[in-house]
Structure 1
Amino acid sequence: MKRPIIALDFPSKNEIALFLEKFPVEEKLFVKVGMEIFYQEGPDIVKWLRSLGHDVFLDLKLHDIPNTVKQAMKGIARLDVAMTNVHAAGGRKMMAAALEGLREGSGNSQQIPKLIAVTQLTSTSEEQMNREQLIKVSLKASVVQYAKMTYQAGLDGVVCSALEVELIKGNIAPDFICLTPGIRPRNSAAGDQERIVTPERARKIGSDFIVVGRPITQSENPLMAYQQIKNEWNGVQ
């Protein structure tokens, strides 16, 4: 059964530990470690989560000159994460360097983490993209262009809205990974997300991974919320 990726957007390791106590020890989760917690706790937070048996998507969205990103990815590879990412806006050369860094850092004995690229953030509207980024095409056209660059650089897939999954897979390849944040169960607040869908719709659209944060982490019963989303994501009644 596919697992939703839980966004551990907490300010400290202690708060994550309290959250994880609400799950059975044998329930091995797929969790997202983002900038909020990584910049407080550093790489040790990833090592600790891996020691508990959880898989980690390290969501740092690297975006810098190619050599800097390559060297950073060498270090990330040694953290034994399942997946990590960059910003596609960094360009093909930067993305290719990121992949090279992961391969060099992983060596021969370790599986290379999946590497995906952010297209347009799910908090970004088309009007905002046009006005602030001065990208004078449609949001979908921008996303497809970034996805094509990502594929050409040799990466595994992209972070995108579930609303763009069919378009991306149709323009690139059915097995090109589409990881989709902005997932909200029915009757859940949108928060700061603009382009959101339910877990059920994400499954039908063809998302390969979904990321869910506040609907689980801020729930009065996180385990129940997680199980309900997991069932909906897998089409279990």
Structure 2
Amino acid sequence: MSNPVYLALDLPQLDAAKALASRVKAHVGGVKLGLEFFCAHGHHGVHEIAHLGLPIFLDLKLHDIPNTVAGAMQAIHVLEPAIVTVHASGGRAMMEDAKAAASNGTKVVAVTMLTSMDNRDLERTGVKGGAHDQVMRLAELAEAAGLDGIVCSGQEVGAVHRQWKDGFFVVPGLRLPGNGAGDQKRVVTPRQARDDGASVLVIGRPISRADDPVAAAIAVEATL
């Protein structure tokens, strides 16, 4: 894709979300709509954003029994998302059913480990080994399940790319030099993530909360 940046558009007001996306659409490659947006605005909200003509990434992080996840995937066919997320920790059968139920044009990618978590958080959930080991394990499982790729932090994407040569890798938790990390714990710059093999760069607050979102989007684009 010409511009790998997807704007994380998780705003509670639909009009504000549409206005922001309209302002920056010439400088991003797509829009990511997450749980906050989807729970607030549903299918109607997705359709409204889709009218802007940008690819839609539905970051729903589906995680349930295989049959339920497959049903949810079928329910969003009408939205024609470019990308949808499921949780890799749901297991191989769940991921297989999610992929089988997805539209032909939709990439299904598995969330490995949230970028808001670090090794200490992982240990508290009972998972042995560090973030790198966990991401590599789940990436291998997602590939075996036939998914298109995974979501991981920029700190792991290089290693995953070497293991999964033709995978599709979504990297969130990105910050420009000088930006604060916020609630993210494993961050890199967009340029570093792209160089290491990221297919899609998800960027939210550095653009959406900037004094001048257009200038911020241009600044990100310029680094790539």
TM-score range normalised by the length of the shorter chain: over 0.9
Paired amino acid for 1:123: S
Q: In terms of Rg, which structure is larger?
A: 1
Paired amino acid for 1:120: M
What secondary structure, in the 3-state scheme, does the structure 1 residue paired with 2:156 have? helix
Q: Kindly indicate whether the alpha-carbon contact (under 8 Å) linking 1:96 and 1:153 is maintained by their aligned counterparts in 2.
A: yes
1:7 aligns to 2:8 (yes or no) = yes
Q: Kindly indicate whether the alpha-carbon contact (under 8 Å) linking 2:5 and 2:28 is maintained by their aligned counterparts in 1.
A: no
Give the ranges of 4+ consecutive aligned residues of structure 1 lying more than 3 Å apart after TM superposition.
Answer: 26-29
Displacement of 1:21 after TM fit? 4.4
CA RMSD of aligned residues (A): 1.5
Displacement of 1:112 after TM fit? 2.3
Could you tell me how far apart the structure 2 residues matched to 1:222 and 1:72 are?
33
Matched with 1:98 is 98
Matched with 2:178 is 187
Q: Kindly indicate whether the alpha-carbon contact (under 8 Å) linking 2:27 and 2:217 is maintained by their aligned counterparts in 1.
A: no
Displacement of 1:168 after TM fit? 1.0
Matched with 1:143 is 135
Displacement of 1:29 after TM fit? 4.4
Could you tell me how far apart the structure 2 residues matched to 1:23 and 1:193 are?
23
Q: Flag structure 1 segments of 5+ consecutive residues without an equivalent.
A: none
Q: Kindly indicate whether the alpha-carbon contact (under 8 Å) linking 1:183 and 1:211 is maintained by their aligned counterparts in 2.
A: yes
What secondary structure, in the 3-state scheme, does the structure 2 residue paired with 1:191 have? coil
What secondary structure, in the 3-state scheme, does the structure 2 residue paired with 1:58 have? strand
> Identity across aligned pairs (percent)?
38
Distance 1:22 1:2, change over 3 A: closer
Q: Flag structure 2 segments of 5+ consecutive residues without an equivalent.
A: none
What secondary structure, in the 3-state scheme, does the structure 2 residue paired with 1:42 have? helix
Distance 1:157 1:21, change over 3 A: closer
Could you tell me how far apart the structure 2 residues matched to 1:34 and 1:11 are?
11
Distance 1:59 1:29, change over 3 A: same
Paired amino acid for 1:66: P
Could you tell me how far apart the structure 2 residues matched to 1:140 and 1:45 are?
36
TM score, norm. by length of structure 2: 0.95
